[in-house]
Amino acid sequence: MASLNILYVEDDPLAASAVQALVTQGGDHLAWVQSGRAGLQRAAADRFDVIILDRMLPDLDGLTIVSRLRAAGIETPVLMLSALGRSENRIEGLDAGVDDYLAKPYEPQELLARVKALHRRSSGKVHGAVIIYGALECHLKARTAFRAGRHIALSPREFELFRYFMENAGETVTREMLLRDVWNMSFDPQTNVVDVNIGRLRRKLEDGFTTPALETIWGAGYRLTACE
């Protein structure tokens, strides 16, 4: 497996040194910047596999950084680190566009495991096949989606949702399953982040077609249909 190129935005030199040692021991490369503005510029200028982002920075906070990245169309997976570990803090991060959220203090090996998991999910290297269900196709390696031969342009998050539904095609997928397996959340944060992303995915899958691709199973969850 190729080494990862990771951007780490952290103003605490001691914390940065510890993470840098951990990452480099595993053979990956870590670029460390100490300020929010430098992190934003570096993330926009270079290509990284994963961004580790401290939430509380002296010049530009982590939520603002990730919001600006997403607004600019930069979908690099972001793992946010923060001493603010309450559920409402995690919700703020997810709503801003963060892909994973780890509260301080954390186990270093858990940090590394989460970084690698984010990369696996975003790169499509978990599998190397094509899943076909009715008129829908999910090309895992190329991370592309098709319906009736028509390409459906999806954001990285929407593709992760689509892949999950394709891997569970025909089955009812609950909100709790999506939070656990797509957002890596072990609790229900009472946020509408799932519903918002489901809505976006549904509109893209059904645009120009007359039959639904996703069904809402009231009181249970959602189900992918073998649409035409």
Peptide bond into 105 cis (omega under 30): yes
pLDDT digits (tens, 9 = 90+) for 145-201: 988 888 999 988 889 899 999 888 878 899 888 888 888 776 666 678 888 899 999
Query: What pLDDT, on a 0 to 100 scale, did the predictor assign at position 1?
Result: 54
Give the number of residues written for the chain. 228
pLDDT digits (tens, 9 = 90+) for 93-148: 877 888 888 888 888 777 888 888 778 766 644 445 678 787 888 887 778 898 88
pTM of the model: 0.59
Q: How far is CA 14 from CA 18, 19, 34, 55, in A?
A: 6, 9, 11, 16
